[in-house]
Structure 1
Amino acid sequence: MRVLVTGAGDYLGRRLLEALHRGLPPGSSILGLDRAPQPPLGGVSLRAVDPFDAHELAETIAAFDPTIVFHLAALASVAQSSETPSYAWRAELLGTLNLAEAVAKTRAALVFLSSTVVYGEAFREQARPDETVTPRPDTISGRTKNACEYILRDVLANAGVKHLVLRPSNYIGAGQSETFVVASFAGQIARIERGLVPPSLEVGDLSAGRDFVDVADVTAACLRVIGQIDDLPNGGIFNVGSGVVTPVAEILEMFRGMTGARFTLRVSPDRVRAAGVRSEGCDSTAFATATGWTPAIPLSRSLSTILSEARAQLG
């Protein structure tokens, strides 16, 4: 088994490489690609490759000769894409097109880690859409990921290369950037506990609901795909999430129960999305039926781990 992962320096990419090292059969080869050099990772080869350099990317992939490619290279957050729209479009579309053309010349299958953000406006009508719901993306992140799904379908189908699309919901875990709401709460609480900042927690729309799934469950889904790639439909699209929409306010209350610190709340305008408050979840029944995968880590355990890590980071 030879597995290649793009976006090796991103949060999910690094966790997937670690999971592959633990979960693949002995003798497997793993290569992680990123636009910037990455810290060493035991059992994994890492290489800095510019995704805009089609020739270098194609040479690297041809030399490695992967069995399966996981395409994760992307701007991870909605906010990050919104702040740099031109770069978001170039990075997502050109990088994905170059990758698709390179993989089209190999025997590899490709799995694209898209996102449930592609559903966009559809969330207003259905909080937990399944894959039959037509995406109506209303953010740059959603639009670019949806466009990449089309790029891969057109380029790889024409080349006869198998590909799948996974749409994870809001994955969370220890070490995630505080750009994301759960990590932000944990980091702020840890600093309040230490007396490093005033006892006031910055929040956004607490009434918004999200489908939170542990990053380890998402990497487990990827491993499940490797084991069953031959049985999954070419061009198949699958949601990957907990299936439960949890209000952000409930996340905050769960954190309150894990700390003795007392704090007030302050709504920060830059934490409020322009799209407005709504619930965003997904129905993962199709993926569970096709692969037998189900999320194994309870939300409470994920939050406890994230808060413990935030405390440890303070020394």
Structure 2
Amino acid sequence: MRALITGIRGFVGTNLEKELYQHGYEVWGTTRKSCPITDSTASFSRIIPVDYSSEEEIMSIINEIKPTEIYHLAGQSSVKISWDNKVDTLEVNIISTVRLLEALRKSEMAQTTKLIMIGSSEEYGAIDNGNVAIKEEDILRPISPYGVSKAATSLLFQQYVRVYELKLVYARPFNHIGPGQGMGFVTSDFAHQIAKIEKGILEPVISVGNLEAQRDFTDVRDIVRAYMLLAQKGDVGEIYNISSGEPLSIRYILNVLLSLSYRKDIEIQRDENKMRPSEFPIYIGNSSKIRDHIGWKKEYSIKQSLQDILNYWRNLV
């Protein structure tokens, strides 16, 4: 099997690269030409710098590699950043996806390559289901610029399946976490602060936003395994939620991280700048479709994920 991962140098891309390599795949990856390539970033795969604004260049890469599977991870993935960079988020996530779909459609691999498109639970947006988990058929009401961009890609997905009969499968992951995730995501932000406090770099005070919101967290290593299974077993034209189905409050996440810390004197301080323009009290995903049809289930507990995240930041700082 030969896989091509767009955005391979990102948080999810590096984890997917390892997963595929461990399952015997020949792995290729694309990254922006502005990103330097070193030996440490090309351990499992062959990396190709690409201009994502060039449909012809993308098509040429597809024709050269002839991948059996493509995983489209390239894009802007932060909800927080999308509020400050709306235009860039829409351009990167929507227009670049169109160019990839057009490149595949016009390539020699149009009828044979399976493309896994990655959406987001942010597409569901303003859903008020109470404690009822969100299903794939629920109406999309995205409220963040990032959510809007991903909802647009899900419409593109449906169009290219129906009109051009491309072999596309769509994944909608809920919050995914894990070691190596950058700043701007709640578990990394907390763990990074705790690691610095333990090293004496910061005072024993953690700055927080809304702690009462409940979210559905899944380890990135479980997420990328789901992507691989969708490429192998997912039905063309279908959308699959990927989630734990377990709502956890941000306060719970923080308390677990604090319990794992060497320091027991850390105080919590609210920071209004960390509050989002829109926030929903509870967000749970129903992943029965991928569990029942594909056989996926999560393997990493939340405590194991948080322990690995904290250790990652301890080593880094």
1:239 corresponds to which of 238, 241, 245: 241
1:274 corresponds to which of 272, 277, 280: 277
After superposition, residues 50-89 of structure 1 pair within 5 angstroms as: 50-89=51-90
Residue 258 of structure 2 corresponds to: 256
Residue 138 of structure 2 aligns with an amino acid whose one-letter code is V
Residue 103 of structure 2 corresponds to: 102
**Contact 1:124-1:278 within 8 A present in 2 as well:** no
Residue 96 of structure 1 aligns with an amino acid whose one-letter code is T
Q: Secondary structure at the match of 1:189?
A: helix
Residue 23 of structure 1 corresponds to: 23
Measured in 1, the distance between the counterparts of 2:279 and 2:294 equals 35
**Contact 2:126-2:280 within 8 A present in 1 as well:** no
Residue 278 of structure 1 aligns with an amino acid whose one-letter code is P
Residue 33 of structure 1 corresponds to: 30
Q: Secondary structure at the match of 1:166?
A: strand
Residue 196 of structure 1 aligns with an amino acid whose one-letter code is I
Aligned-pair CA distance for 1:12: 0.5
Residue 14 of structure 1 corresponds to: 14
Aligned-pair CA distance for 1:243: 0.7
User: Does the C-alpha gap of structure 1 residues 145 and 33 become closer, same or farther in structure 2, counting only changes over 3 Å?
Assistant: same
Q: Does 1:206 align with 2:203?
A: no
Aligned-pair CA distance for 1:158: 1.8
**Contact 1:97-1:152 within 8 A present in 2 as well:** no
Measured in 1, the distance between the counterparts of 2:153 and 2:84 equals 19
Q: Secondary structure at the match of 2:43?
A: coil
Residue 181 of structure 1 corresponds to: 186
CA deviation string 1:202-235 (max 9, x = no partner)? 101000111110000001112212332xxx3221
Q: Secondary structure at the match of 1:30?
A: strand
Aligned-pair CA distance for 1:125: 4.9
Residue 56 of structure 2 aligns with an amino acid whose one-letter code is H
CA deviation string 1:117-167 (max 9, x = no partner)? 101001465652011211110011111001011112212432221111111
Q: Secondary structure at the match of 2:200?
A: coil
Q: Secondary structure at the match of 2:163?
A: helix
Q: Higher mean Cα deviation, 246-255 or 258-267?
A: 258-267
Residue 31 of structure 2 aligns with an amino acid whose one-letter code is D
**Contact 1:123-1:278 within 8 A present in 2 as well:** no
Measured in 2, the distance between the counterparts of 1:125 and 1:95 equals 35
Q: Does 1:5 align with 2:5?
A: yes
Residue 14 of structure 1 aligns with an amino acid whose one-letter code is T
Measured in 1, the distance between the counterparts of 2:31 and 2:283 equals 30
Q: Secondary structure at the match of 2:127?
A: helix
Aligned-pair CA distance for 1:238: 0.5
Residue 48 of structure 2 aligns with an amino acid whose one-letter code is R
Residue 90 of structure 1 aligns with an amino acid whose one-letter code is E
Quote the RMSD (CA, aligned, Å): 1.4
Q: Which runs of 5+ in 2 are unaligned?
A: none
User: Does the C-alpha gap of structure 1 residues 154 and 126 become closer, same or farther in structure 2, counting only changes over 3 Å?
Assistant: farther
2:117 corresponds to which of 98, 102, 112: 112
User: Does the C-alpha gap of structure 1 residues 12 and 58 become closer, same or farther in structure 2, counting only changes over 3 Å?
Assistant: same
Aligned-pair CA distance for 1:85: 0.9
CA deviation string 1:72-96 (max 9, x = no partner)? 1111110112221111111111100
Measured in 2, the distance between the counterparts of 1:141 and 1:151 equals 16
Residue 304 of structure 1 aligns with an amino acid whose one-letter code is Q
Measured in 1, the distance between the counterparts of 2:88 and 2:279 equals 25
Residue 6 of structure 1 aligns with an amino acid whose one-letter code is T
**Contact 1:100-1:156 within 8 A present in 2 as well:** no
**Contact 2:169-2:230 within 8 A present in 1 as well:** no
Residue 174 of structure 2 corresponds to: 169
Q: Higher mean Cα deviation, 288-297 or 120-129?
A: 120-129
Aligned-pair CA distance for 1:201: 0.2
Aligned-pair CA distance for 1:276: 2.9
2:139 corresponds to which of 118, 130, 134: 134
Q: Which runs of 5+ in 1 are unaligned?
A: none
Measured in 1, the distance between the counterparts of 2:129 and 2:140 equals 12
Residue 225 of structure 2 aligns with an amino acid whose one-letter code is A
